[in-house]
Amino acid sequence: MNSFDVVVIGSGPGGYVSAIRCAQLGFKTAIIEKYPTLGGTCLNVGCIPSKALLASSHHVEEIAHFADHGIELAGEVKVDLAKMIDRKQAVVDQTCSGVKYLMDKNKITVFEGVGSFENATTINVTKNDGSVESIEAKHTIIATGSKPSTLPFITLDKERIITSTEALKLPEVPKHLIIIGGGVIGLELGQVYLRLGAQVSVVEFADRILPTMDGAVSKELTKVLKKQGMKFYTSHKVQGVVREGDVVKVSAEDKKGEIVTLEGDYTLVAVGRRPYTDGLNADKAGVKLTDRGQVEVNDHLQTSVSNIYAIGDVVRGAMLAHKAEEEGVLVAEYLAGQRPHIDYNLIPGVVYTWPEVAAVGKTEEQLKAEGVAYKAGSFPFKALGRARASADTDGFVKILADKNTDEILGMHMVGARAADLIAEAVVAMEYRASAEDISRMSHAHPTFAEAIKEAALAATDNRALHV
């Protein structure tokens, strides 16, 4: 029986990064993946393919405004959806092959098959041909990720009533795409098809889209997406989803008890994701799961069994690839006797619509609920020279700081390149910077990053310079 210091079950961003760090630290490491390609949901049917389609569809949107820049195109612009999806797949294939290269480079043994516990130190790998190979693990890291959730009364046929996985490879641009769920996944994929010509309607149970993010961010993105043509039905509870041939009917009840029925040719169910432990046989190893199906862990991400750890979507916290990576590194370093640490308050969240949305730290609603005395400063992108030059004037940067100490407690932004700009906020908050600290830093002109400095000036002493 092959024996390893560390066996990682699952090769998503958390799993493969954890395996690499374990190997760097001198552990004999193996990784188990049930699918033929490495990379998990994120690389295969999540983060990477969705961003590839967002990038392609963004070009379509940009072309529509070329005339504003003095660029004339001859003839009609046509979208080849099949070629767009082929390009997306090429990006996925290249990225996944890169992970395979990293496994080889770091001498990590890869097992293809379903990993399941026989006991706390023995893992069975069931291969596609039905054969089973048993391996011994001194330590195991569960990184099995998550799967799309649905509602109990919805039957997913994966043809017309679909999840995000099917939405990444549709055979046609929908005439009317109905999205159930106004979170990150629904909005990103909704914008892809909106740009390609679909009518898009979003049904959300909460009173606003992105309900866990700062209210000002939600309000701004709603305004921008409505301007782009997306329709929203917030405070609507879905009652039923029925397919009749090529038509899908979604009925939802509003606050007044009135039923709204939407008809479309595709319905995307984007109501979140659930931890995935199917086939893991966690009980055989003595690993406890919570009522929500998550693997129960302590502050060191250690399960109820001392030599077994769990990371990423399968444990508590935000389901984010970069959060899983940080946890994977933490476990590896903890096993090596180091003292790693993660500040979960400083894990940024990003929505890759255009304009992008990014945030880190506390929202204004959270600070109010916690009774924290704070001050806020905002600055609109439309007041930036770079934004006007690029015709990306939607959005703002908002900084929340402690009223007494001026320490930055949260930063929230909607705008061009927000996904990249948020890193400045994370660095600042990691070192407990004040709003005044940022306001005194030189920011290159003209850049989108100047909005952060201006928002810091507004939060420091209400003295933004360009509004």
Q: Once rounded to an integer, what is the mean pLDDT over residues 114-129?
A: 96
115 assigned to a ligand binding site: yes
Query: Which of 59, 65, 300, 445 does the annotation list as catalytic?
Result: 445
Give the whole-angstrom CA distance, residue 131 versus residue 78: 49
424 assigned to a ligand binding site: no
Ramachandran class of 14: left when φ > 0, alpha when ψ lies in -120 to 50, beta otherwise: alpha
Q: Comparing C-alpha atoms, which of 239, 264, 269 is closest to residue 249? A: 264
Handedness of CA 74, 75, 80, 83 (dihedral sign): negative
R_g of the chain, CA atoms, integer Å: 24
185 assigned to a ligand binding site: yes
- What is the architecture, at CATH level 2, of domain 2-148+274-342? 3-Layer(bba) Sandwich (3.50)
DSSP label at residue 328: H
Question: Per the structure block, which two tokens stand in for 251?
Answer: 């009925």
Q: What is the pLDDT of residues 179-224, one digit of tens each?
A: 999 999 999 999 999 999 999 999 999 999 999 999 999 999 999 9
Annotation marks residue 445 as catalytic:
yes
Give the whole-angstrom CA distance, residue 114 versus residue 80: 37
According to DSSP, the residues that pair with 264 across neighbouring strands are: 248
51 assigned to a ligand binding site: yes
241 assigned to a ligand binding site: no
- The per-residue pLDDT for 76 is 84
Query: Which ranges in the chain are annotated with CATH 3.30.390.30?
Result: 346-461
Q: Given pLDDT bands bounded at 50, 70 and 90, which one contains residue 21?
A: very high
Q: What is the pLDDT of residues 383-436, one digit of tens each?
A: 999 999 999 999 999 999 999 999 999 999 999 999 999 999 999 999 999 999
325 assigned to a ligand binding site: no
CATH superfamily of 346-461: FAD/NAD-linked reductase, C-terminal dimerisation domain (3.30.390.30)
Q: What is the pLDDT of residues 237-269, one digit of tens each?
A: 999 999 999 999 999 999 999 999 999 999 999
Query: Which ranges in the chain are annotated with CATH 3.50.50.60?
Result: 2-148+274-342, 161-271
- Where does 89-131 show beta strands of DSSP type E? 109-112, 114-117, 122-126
Assess whether pLDDT exceeds 90 at residue 128.
Answer: no
The CATH fold of domain 161-271: FAD/NAD(P)-binding domain (3.50.50)
184 assigned to a ligand binding site: yes
1 assigned to a ligand binding site: no
* C-alpha distances in Å from residue 355, one per residue of 132, 142, 185, 223, 383: 49, 35, 15, 11, 16
Q: Please state, for a pLDDT cut of 90, what percent of the chain lies above it.
A: 96
Give the whole-angstrom CA distance, residue 92 versus residue 126: 25
Give the whole-angstrom CA distance, residue 323 versus residue 13: 9
DSSP label at residue 169: T
Q: Comparing C-alpha atoms, which of 107, 102, 110, 105 is closest to residue 135? A: 110
Pairing mode, strands 176-180 and 266-269: parallel
Contact status, residue 247 vs residue 236, Cβ threshold 8 Å:
no
- The per-residue pLDDT for 197 is 97
